[in-house]
């Protein structure tokens, strides 16, 4: 199979596997991350475009949040699929490493693997968590979890560990301070940083407007 055929097959597999997924993790999230990743990869000439493409397409194939916290299902699903279409073993191993390491929480832990392709996919995924789309996804998630939009009596808590964060029922606005506004400084690639900077400014403008409206100022 040629590389474009491998990518086409993978797109079809991801689309059918994610049928019915919730709005923050559906095919369109994958499509945006895929496009972001290809955009960033244009400026990273050493990156392997096939590994970037497959990593982006398969990075959320089984989110542990929706599989009882089981982090092994995504990598396993991806490996089995790629083997079934006879992808090169080295490519499969690299893509699986990307899936294992891409999530936000693995940045708190020591990353056991690093590559330019992982940096690209991770930046692409983070770009989809900020800016206008990031705001939409945050409130979508908050609604799914029945959270308040905002509560002036519950300030953001920047000192939570991973477990506390998962259990937190904090309003969605807090998520901006606890996560979204921190992402710009965690970007790894040059073009990822540049796009993140613009989206970061947009979130600040959004918050200013939000508080103005909340307080009846405009």
Enumerate binding residues for ligand ADP (CB under 6 A). Answer: 24-25, 60, 63, 65, 103-104, 125, 129, 134, 137-138, 141-142, 172, 175
- Say how far apart CA 16 and CA 27 lie, in whole Å: 9
Look at the block and give the residue holding tokens 């496009």: 35
Q: What is the largest CA-CA distance in the chain?
A: 61
- For the CB of residue 3, give the shortest distance to ligand ADP in the complex, in Å: 25
Q: Name the binder of 3 from ligand ADP, Ni ion, none, CB < 5-8 A by kind.
A: none
- For the CB of residue 103, give the shortest distance to Ni ion in the complex, in Å: 8
Burial of 107 (0-12, 13-18, 19+ CB in 10 A): middle
Told to check if 123 binds Ni ion by CB under 5 A, we report no
Which residue number, 77 or 211, has a Cβ lying nearer to Ni ion? Answer: 77
- For the CB of residue 141, give the shortest distance to ligand ADP in the complex, in Å: 4
- For the CB of residue 133, give the shortest distance to ligand ADP in the complex, in Å: 8
Which one of 38-46, 60-68, 84-92, 177-185 is the stretch in contact with Ni ion (CB under 5 A)?
A: 60-68
Q: What is the residue-wise DSSP string for 56-107? A: HHHTTTT-GGGTTT-TTHHHHHHHHHHHHTT--HHHHHHHHHHHHH-SGGGG
Which residue number, 6 or 131, has a Cβ lying nearer to ligand ADP? Answer: 131
CB distance 180 to 111 below 8 Å: no
Token readout for 122 is 């991770």
Which residue number, 62 or 87, has a Cβ lying nearer to ligand ADP? Answer: 62
Which one of 15-23, 58-66, 90-98, 114-122 is the stretch in contact with Ni ion (CB under 5 A)?
A: 58-66
Which residue number, 71 or 154, has a Cβ lying nearer to Ni ion? Answer: 71
Residue number, nearest CB to ligand ADP: 137
Which one of 108-116, 120-128, 152-160, 161-169 is the stretch in contact with Ni ion (CB under 5 A)?
A: 120-128
- For the CB of residue 86, give the shortest distance to ligand ADP in the complex, in Å: 28
How many residues can be counted in the chain?
218
Told to check if 100 binds Ni ion by CB under 5 A, we report no
Token readout for 204 is 């600040």
Nearest to 9 by CA among 99, 98, 104, 78: 78
- Say how far apart CA 212 and CA 157 lie, in whole Å: 22
- For the CB of residue 168, give the shortest distance to ligand ADP in the complex, in Å: 7
Token readout for 173 is 């606005």
């Amino acid at each position: 199979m040629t590389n474009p055929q491998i990518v086409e097959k993978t797109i079809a597999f991801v689309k059918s596997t994610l049928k019915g997924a919730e709005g923050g993790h559906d095919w369109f999230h994958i499509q945006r991350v895929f496009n972001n990743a290809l955009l960033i990869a244009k400026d990273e000439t050493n990156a392997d475009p096939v590994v970037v493409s497959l990593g982006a397409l398969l990075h959320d194939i089984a989110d542990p949040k929706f599989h009882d916290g089981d982090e092994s299902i995504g990598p396993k699903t991806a490996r089995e699929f790629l083997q079934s279409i006879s992808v090169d073993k080295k490519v499969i191993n690299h893509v699986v490493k990307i899936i294992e390491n891409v999530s936000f929480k693995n940045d708190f832990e020591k990353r056991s693997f690093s590559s330019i392709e992982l940096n690209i996919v991770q930046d692409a995924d983070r770009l989809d968590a900020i800016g206008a789309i990031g705001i939409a996804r945050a409130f979508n998630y908050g609604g799914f979890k029945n959270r308040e939009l905002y509560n002036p009596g519950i300030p953001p808590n920047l000192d939570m560990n991973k477990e506390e964060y998962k259990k937190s029922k904090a309003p969605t606005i807090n998520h901006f301070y606890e996560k979204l506004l921190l992402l710009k400084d965690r970007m790894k690639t040059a073009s990822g940083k540049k796009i993140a900077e613009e989206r970061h400014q947009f979130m600040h403008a959004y918050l200013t407007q939000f508080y103005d409206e909340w307080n009846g100022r405009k």
